[in-house]
Chain A
Amino acid sequence: MAEMTYLQAISDGLREEMRADDSVFCLGEDIGAFGGAFKVTDGFAEEFGADRVWDTPLAENAIIGTAVGAAVEGMRPVCEMQFADFISCGFDQLVNVAAKMHYRQGLAVPMVVRLPSGGGFSGGPFHSQNPEAWFLQAPGLKVVAPSTPEDAKGLIAAAIRDPNPVCFMEHKHLYRRAKGEVPDGRYQTDLGRVRVAREGTDLSVIAYGAMVPVALEATEDVDGASVEVIDLRSLVPLDRDGILESVRKTSKVVVLHEATRSCGVGAEVAALIAEEAFEDLDGPVVRVTAPDVPIPFSPPLERAVLPQVDDVKEACRELVSY
């Protein structure tokens, strides 16, 4: 075990997989000599050579399209989008080609698209988005969103080994802030299992990514209530049983994410709960999310848009006393 940041854990996981499996390679903008915009692949070019760490043109459609071709031929490419926002330029290759390849032709597409996402640093509307819900509507893709260094390493490994295209949402705010013990060597965190970040009996807060630490901080003391925090980790596949188990125990739920509200992951989770656990509810399912607006550049406006600790605390208080 070693203490690592979230960013180091992703690098570590990626490096371990590349060392263990020659078919794994990386491609993206400035990921080689420069080591990537956020330095996730720092030192990779030296260790693995330019053949396995490709600097590409600024063309996301080409990056993902190339990866699809390589994956179909048996390689395990890991694409880096410099910012998750830029995936829109590679959308067709991802949602139409990669996602449907197995359905149409029975071919596995074992590729990963790393998506540095999220706001909180005045990045403005093109560098702060949380676009994970886009991919929930493209059957054939898997979507993961770790919140801890240990899960970041375990999930990047699982994503690389998975035979399907996987969108790996890595939250930029966590890169250097989230620190924790990370097991040495190769391991994987299974896709489709929630993690109980804190056990509780009176209320469940269901979150993922950067909102998990926010949920933990906000619910340290909610009028003495015992608050359970569920870290989804995997958005597709969604751990229905894990979610429902918590809801059946606590009967009250706050669904929390940084992404915008309408048709988001929270809406899907809330609908699941309404369908499967209606008779276990002791209050409305409450969503705490960003409103349906672009992320502002202005720091006070951005704080107003993104869910803050106090917003979560207030929502929990309201629901506890419902």
Chain B
Amino acid sequence: MPQMGVSVAEGTIVEWHKRVGDWAERDEVIVEISTDKVETEVPSPESGRVTEILVEVGTTVDVGTVLARLDTSASPGEPHVEEKLTVDSSQLTETPPVTPVVRRMAAEHNIDLSQVRGTGRRGRVTKKDVLAFMKQWGEREPQPEPVLHIESPYEDEELSTVNRQPSTGQPLSPMRRSIAEHMVRSLQTAAHCTTVVEADVSAVEAARGRLSYLPFVARAAIAALREFPQLNATLENDRLYVHDEVNLGVAVALGDDGLIVPVVKNAHELSHEGLASRIADLAERARSKRLSPDETKGGTFTITNPGRYGALLATPIINQPQVAILDLEAVVKRPVVVGDAIAIRPMTYLCMSWDHRALDGVLAARFLSSVRHHLEGWNG
């Protein structure tokens, strides 16, 4: 993959103009590729016969990857390699598509199907293979939810600092620097206030099946934003912009690297199931670095969800220039008073930081009450 520009790190094969066995003259077009900036034709660097094509159409590879091999010692007019042979061998190596039940089981149990030995025809992974794999290895720990915290992770302070050798420390990664700059700027810009409401999520618990709480809370928050559009807003240069569309930012942890907040565009048009699949898609692509820059822009409201590690309350920092951020913390079974009885219910705290420049506490409380109302009366 040739370097097509200073800032281009990868390219995608659009079309091969030569097949294995074809003769390519120097500077004759051999392949067409696209980058995030351009589509372009790549000329053959030398004259020779194409002996191998290593990257298929539609595949994206890093700059510097070998795309094909030319035999420059061959001469034109020699018999071509039999086309049929190459076609057959490629079909033989391709594993057949997985069946619906296998795809579902792999998703439910977080199984990497490339690790499962397929005993079906042409090596297809069957339901039996997946069951055998689960029996052998047990279920894997579910991967972290598309969780993320807007704050920088809090480091435990060393208690015995007295005798510690002074450390030279290490420079922040570019992502950490960017997060640091963004967070500090937000704290210096907005008048942060945090309001907390407690919600009973029994109805969501009954309905959620294998989904996490996040898409339900997101759906409830979107419904509340339609009632209180002043929270679906951005505040820039002393002007408040209230938005018609809800573009929902969802903080996604990138392990030790930091976090990123991809945006579910037009989230108000999606059901909780639609939200779940969009969030999962964005989170997966965020972690595999396949987000386009546009997908982190244009947010009008953000949800952060670090609850999986058991924290009960947090005061998140607003994602500028938005005016509020909702924090979903752990769901914990607690004794609560229902009527005049004590019941055990799954409870959570909905913590929202909001910008006192843009709104007041009454609105924040009414908004959170509406979120709670939607969650407690969840009916899909």
A residues contacting B by CB (< 8 A) are 202, 251, 278-283, 321-322
Contact = CB atoms under 8 A, between A and B. Distances in A.
Nearest to B103: A279
A322 B120 contact: yes
B179 to A, nearest CB: 39
Contact of B126 (A278, A279, A322): A322
B124 A279 contact: no
Contact of A281 (B101, B120, B124): B101
Given A251-B101, A280-B100, 4 more contacts: A279-B104, A282-B102, A283-B99, A322-B121
B99 A281 contact: yes
B272 interface: no
- Categorize the interface residue count of chain B: 10 to 19
Contacts, number: 28
A321 B121 contact: yes
B149 interface: no
A251 B124 CA distance: 15
Interface of B: 99-104, 120-121, 124, 126-128
A321 B104 CA distance: 20
Nearest to A201: B128
A282 B126 contact: yes
A321 B100 contact: no
A75 B127 CA distance: 54
Contacts of A251: 99, 101, 127
Contacts of B127: 251, 282
Contacts of B124: 322
B120 A321 contact: yes
Given A251-B127, A322-B126, A282 B101 contact: yes
Contacts of B103: 279
A251 B120 CA distance: 14
In this complex, the member of B99, B120, B121 whose beta carbon has the largest number of chain A beta carbons within 10 angstroms is B99
Contacts of B99: 251, 281-283
A283 B124 CA distance: 10
Nearest to A283: B99
B121 A280 contact: no
Nearest to A284: B99
Contacts of A283: 99
B119 to A, nearest CB: 9
A321 B124 CA distance: 10
Contacts of A321: 120-121
B373 to A, nearest CB: 33
A321 B129 CA distance: 12
11 contacts: A251-B99, A278-B100, A279-B104, A280-B100, A280-B101, A280-B104, A281-B99, A281-B100, A282-B126, A283-B99, A321-B120
4 closest A-B pairs by CB: A282-B127, A279-B104, A282-B99, A282-B101
A241 B174 CA distance: 57
A113 to B, nearest CB: 40
